[in-house]
Structures are given as structure tokens and as C-alpha cells.
Amino acid sequence: MEYDIKGKTAIVTGSAAGLGAAIVEKLVREGVNVVMSGIRRHDDTQEKLDRYNQTGVKVIFIECDVSRKEDIDYLFDETLKQMGQVDILINNAAIWLTSYIRDMSVEDFKHTLDVNLVGPFLLCQRFINYCIDNGRKGKIVNMTSQAAFHGSTSGHAHYASSKAGIVGFSISLAREVARYGINVNCVAPGIMESKMVSAIVDDPVRREKYLERIPIGRIATVEEVARVVLFLVSSQADYMTGATLDATGGMLMR
């Protein structure tokens, strides 16, 4: 498949590990320059940067707490300073706190919204204004979840709420900016083999309960979901906007 994204520049939040790191791998292989971003560097971050930069692309890491507007402004400004342009924005950073509603603190609820919904809003706002002001087309992918549609019965109502908000926000944004050549879409993963949900995937009992909900019968790898994101930022998805792609193995089916 021809993706036609070689030479473009992408920002990927939450990309030090897990799904975000897998997305970066896919983009680098297609010749995309990437700004990796996370709340902190991981032990292997420099090794990844060195390896990526030997392939002919430019990859940098900028620390950013997406719940802080000043961090987001720094991320975007520094990206333009070091990379010269931005063509693709992938809002992947998220938190997944656990608490049932009857015991949930207002602070945890608000913090989840700040990271999972307000942060993507602020980055999207910077990105679309940059694109519109400079007459540039762009691609945005916002990560949502099957929980946005099914809700949560396992103590993650704040997460489900934030991810439902991402869907509504992305549709509204897509309607506003389509005429400028900016595409906005979502990907909804289900359960993945990742550190964020290790409490589930590493627990045989909980893992089996999730497997019973997945028609395909197995948990996704982060690479499988990353391929869906790669498709959406490519020229193959130029006629798609305001859509949410189901990458749940059949948990969602919408």
C-alpha cells in the first residue's frame, strides 16, 4: 500500500512506550519525521532516537504533560522550531485510573478529563490554527476507546467519559475544518497487550473475562492498532473525516 507520507512531520503524544511507540515505528518506516512526546523519557528512549535517526528521518523527544497548557504550547512551538513544519497530529497520551463512581474523587475525574480530553483539544486547536494560517492541509487522529460507546463496569467511568468526549469533539472539529483540507478521525481500540492495562492482561482471571468479550478471540498487539492509525494519516484516507475506526477485535462492532 502506498501511504504517500514520506517527508511529512508528525507529533505523537504518549509515544515513549506502548501504542504510541508502535505508531512511531510505523511512521519512521514510511519516512516520516516524528516528534515523540511523553511526560518523561524511558530508559530506552535515547536508543530509539539514535536508531531512528540513522534511517534518514529526524526524530526528537520533547517532554510534555498534556494536562498543562504551558507544556502543550512548548511542545508545539519547539516542534516548529526544530522541525520547521507539522503535518500530522496523533493524540495518543492518556491515563486510565481505577475507581468506582461512588468512591471517585473529583480530582481524579478532572485530571482524567484534563489529560484525555482537554489536552487533545488544546493540541488540536494549535494544529488547526497553524494549518489554516499557513494554508496547509493536515491529518489528526485522536485515540478513543470501545469504552466511549460501552461505558465501564470495572471502575473506569472517568476514562470512558473522557473517551466519549473525544468522539464528540472530533466529529465537531471535523465538520469545522474539512473545508481547509484537514481530516480528523478517531481510532477505538479495545484491550491491547500494553503496560497501561497490564493489571488486566497479566491477570489470568481478568484476561479470560475480556477474551470472552472479543469475538476474534485474542487481545490485540499494539502493532495491529498502530497500522490502523497509519492508514488514517495516509493519503489512502483522504476522503475520510469525522469517522471512528473500530480496532477492538469485534468488541465494538459499530
Catalytic residue among 3, 100, 130, 159, which?
159
Residue 74 annotated among the catalytic residues of the structure: no
Q: Which long-range CB contacts under 8 A does 196-204 form with residues at least 24 apart?
A: 196/18, 196/94, 196/96, 197/96, 199/98
Tell me the CA distances in angstroms from 229 to 91, 144, 180, 181, 202, one per residue in order: 11, 12, 21, 18, 26
Distance CA 234, CA 230 (A): 6
Q: Enter the C-alpha cell of residue 27.
A: 511512521
Distance CA 247, CA 249 (A): 6
Active site residues: 159
